[in-house]
Amino acid sequence: MSSETIPSPKSRRWLRVLIAFVVAFDAAAFFQWADGAFQSEFGGHPDEGTHYATAVHVRDAAMHMRDRARSNGAQHPLAALRRTPAFDFVQGGWMLVFGTSRIAALLFMAALAAAVTTLIFCTVRGEFGNWAAVVASLLWLCAPAVRESYETISPELFGAFVLTGAALLWARLLDERRLRRTAASRWISAVATFGFGCVFVAYAFPAPRTPWPGNLGAALSALKECVHAIGFAVAAFALAGMVIRRRSDARTGTVWGVMAVLSIGVLLLRWLVAGLQVRHLIIAMPALAMLAARGAVSLAKTVGSQTAITREFSRRKALWLFLLLLLALTPDLLSPWQKDWQGFGPIARTLMEESRGAARVLVVSDPRGEGMFLSEIAMRDRARQITVECGSETLTDPSGSATHGRPVERFLEDEQLFAHLTSGRIRYIVLDSAVPQDVRAGYHDQIQRVLENNVRSFWPIYDSPIIRDGEPMGHPLRIFRVMQSEGAQLQ
């Protein structure tokens, strides 16, 4: 065999990276299918449907720029994308290649999960070998919070990939610069990593303005919530990976120091910035998974290391890694998360068959339901002839001050709301009567009352049963056609 046919170490390394990505992608896609994500509508999070619809608009804007001849009288799509998050831009680019179907959008999340898994695998394998890399990858990919994230259109995975990749590049840059291993250089590295992580998390996931919970009780409560979301076993082994020092730290200690600062920074920001949700901790979970594998291997070498030989250490390392995997994954795999949100798809199909052209639709629901309807319309209306108005925007007064977290209604009297609905601007109304009472806005009951008392002006077209998080709701989802636009009188 000639030397040209023998793969070089560099080519074998890239082959391993490719294999790790493909295996992780297939595993994530399998979990999506098994947990019902391919069959569910985009209601896993209040912002899921909105992220999907925004990515579709990004795709349309890119196609508009590519084909200037396209003109259907709609507003230039770039005008609505000035404040679009980077995640939606990247997802829009994915849709430009693979389409806007539900499966294509979810496979983008599977690709992000696989990309993060590949970073974890390559980093851990470089120091601890294949088994430790596999364990760390499984800790990340199979965690319930992570599975819920890549089965939902949400930006946390994108943040985890960007921040983890940037931290690893920063650590590699420090090693390549061969900085002196002094206390000053370590502090500079730690402060730079912590600052970058805090700025990224605060910018990408802004929290509402609430007072700082600067007391011990709030700190302990936040820490307990974080440990519960991460998993006690992963948290314990990750803590061991932070505090236990090894002989090889002089060679690879920069990476683990950066990972420790990254995870602590995100957790600290979780406490300092009130209102930051637990799902945002996914940004820190790749670092915690790598630190947990390092902690397991370090404990294996620490316990009885004076009398251990190489074979005994390998067995002990395998036992510790197996214990970590067993403690962390067994409860998670026995109680998988199921995604089941239904109801707005049939309404969207009925609307497309009924309108057969340009139409304006008012949807009245909570933010989750509004996003579900927006995504279902964006998925089906390829000509972009349907204009959707959300009740949370058009039926509220933006200049008024919210009371008890609820917005102020724009129309204080039923006559005013009736005149707005029958002015000829709105052609269809979608009413979600299954919105929970604790998140139901004041205009919701008002518009329901106006529709029920004026049946001649609002004709019901179709009812659809609605399922929220796997639970069938008692009230259906309805779509009404506005029958009377001029000279209508409130009954």
Q: Are residues 438 and 319 in the same domain?
A: no
Residue 464 has pLDDT above 70, yes or no: yes
**Structural domains counted in the chain:** 2
**E-only strand ranges, 326-396:** 359-364, 386-390
Domain containing 265 equals 9-39+101-334
pTM over 0.75: yes
Is residue 3 a part of any domain in this protein? no
* Residue, of 116 and 225, whose pLDDT is higher: 116
Q: Given this model, what pLDDT does residue 306 score?
A: 46
Using the predicted structure, report yes or no on whether residue 117 has a pLDDT greater than 50. yes
Tell me, yes or no, whether 412 and 280 share the same domain: no
In a domain, 1, yes or no: no
Please report whether residue 59 resides in a domain.
no
Q: Given this model, what pLDDT does residue 388 score? A: 94
**Do residues 312 and 415 both lie within one domain?**
no
Same domain membership, residue 199 and residue 113: yes
**Is residue 4 assigned to a domain?**
no
Query: pLDDT at residue 263 above 90?
Result: no
Which 8-state DSSP code applies to residue 3? Answer: G
Q: Is residue 226 part of a domain?
A: yes
Which residue carries 């990939």 as its tokens? 161
- Whether residues 179 and 259 share a domain: the answer is yes
β strands within 326-425, DSSP E = 359-364, 386-390
- Co-location of 123 and 163 in the same domain: yes
- Residue-wise pLDDT tens digits, 264-291: 877 777 666 655 567 778 888 999 999 9
Kindly state whether residue 94 falls inside one of the protein's structural domains: no
Q: What is the DSSP string of 297-361?
A: HHHHHHTTTTS--HHHHHHHHHHHHHHHHHHHHHHHHHS------BSHHHHHHHHHHHH-S-EEE
Domain boundary among 314, 334, 354: 334
Specify the pairing of strand 477-482 against strand 428-432. Answer: antiparallel
